Amino acid sequence: MNILSWVIYIPLQILFLPIVILGALLVAYKQIVVSKKLGLSMTAIEVINGRWTMHIFGMREDKATVSLAAALPNTSLFGLWLCLFPLWIKHKISGRLALYPRVPELGSETIADLIVARTLYFDRVIERAVGQVDQLVVMGAGYDMRAYGKLQCKNVSFFELDQPSVQTHKLASLESSGIASEHVTFVSVDFGNENAVERLIESGFDTSKKTLFLWEGVTLYLSEADVRKTMGDIRNTAPAGSVLLADIYAERFIAFAGKGSRKKTLDQTGEGLDFGLNFSTNHDEVLSEFVESESMSIGETFFMGRKNDKGPFVVVVEMTIG
List residues binding ligand SAM (CB under 6 A). 41, 43-44, 47, 140-144, 162-163, 166, 189-192, 216-218, 221-222
SS3 130: helix
User: Shortest distance, CB of residue 53 to ligand SAM, whole angstroms?
Assistant: 13
- 162 membership: H or E segment, kind and range: strand 157-162
CB 223 within 8 A of CB 231: no
Query: Closest CB to ligand SAM among 65 and 301?
Result: 65
Distances (CA, A) of 124 to 161, 164, 194, 299: 22, 29, 30, 13
The DSSP secondary structure of 6-62, one letter per residue, reads HHHHHHHHHHTHHHHHHHHHHHHIIIIIIHHHHT--HHHHHHHHHHHHHHHTTSS--
User: Shortest distance, CB of residue 139 to ligand SAM, whole angstroms?
Assistant: 7
| Closest of 167, 191, 320 to residue 245, by C-alpha | 320
Amino acid at 207: T
Query: Closest CB to ligand SAM among 217 and 305?
Result: 217
User: Shortest distance, CB of residue 218 to ligand SAM, whole angstroms?
Assistant: 4
User: Shortest distance, CB of residue 35 to ligand SAM, whole angstroms?
Assistant: 10
Residue nearest to ligand SAM (CB): 142
Query: Closest CB to ligand SAM among 20 and 245?
Result: 245
Query: Closest CB to ligand SAM among 20 and 247?
Result: 247
User: Shortest distance, CB of residue 208 to ligand SAM, whole angstroms?
Assistant: 25
Query: Closest CB to ligand SAM among 159 and 191?
Result: 191
